Amino acid sequence: MNIDDEDIELFRRAVAGIEPLPAGKRGRAVPVTKPASRRQPSPEAGTEAEPALSLGDTLRYLRPGGDQRLLKRLRQGRIPPRAELDLHGCTRTQAKPLLDHFLAECLADRIRCALIVHGKGWRSPDFKPVLKSALDQWLRQHPQVTAFCSARPKDGGSGALYVLLGQKK
């Protein structure tokens, strides 16, 4: 996980003015429990190795050599999406061709920023965000995807992605 200067400053502002508890009034530590063992992945999960994402995890990607300022503007919602794809309720098998068609249409229409809603994964097996994990992999592999990140809360938060597309050269 990368922490940028903006995140550090936000944290500092959030904890400003907080004072530590007096030494004698500290609570005791809560023991950490180990997560339950994972079930075998369903055939729907595919064979590709994917990072284990949790329901609330946010995504952030910038193609190597890309401009960090562009990713920052995307994260702040300052590049408005001009197209939207809602994959809510789709399986991986259904989602992949829909995504490919959508991205091709966006590129043909010279749309630079799009919103892809994948849902948060509440109805997925083991409450794992299957589509979010798949999109993370698929978008990183797409040659015209410059950057993507989780959307702002008004656009779906961790259940949606802003995707920045570059044009074919």
Q: State which CATH number among 3.40.50.2300, 3.30.1370.110, 3.40.50.880, 1.20.1070.10 fits the domain covering 57-169.
A: 3.30.1370.110
Alpha-carbon span 95 to 146, nearest angstrom: 20
Q: Given a cut of 60, is residue 74 above it in pLDDT?
A: yes
CA distances from 55 to 105, 121, 124 (A): 29, 6, 10
3-state helix, strand, coil in the chain (%, to 5): 35, 15, 50
pLDDT digits (tens, 9 = 90+) for 15-56: 787 777 666 655 554 444 434 333 333 333 444 444 466 556
Q: Report pLDDT for 84.
A: 96
Q: How many CB atoms lie within 10 A of CB 67?
A: 12
pLDDT at position 52 = 64
- Cα torsion for 38, 42, 44, 47, to the nearest 10°? 70
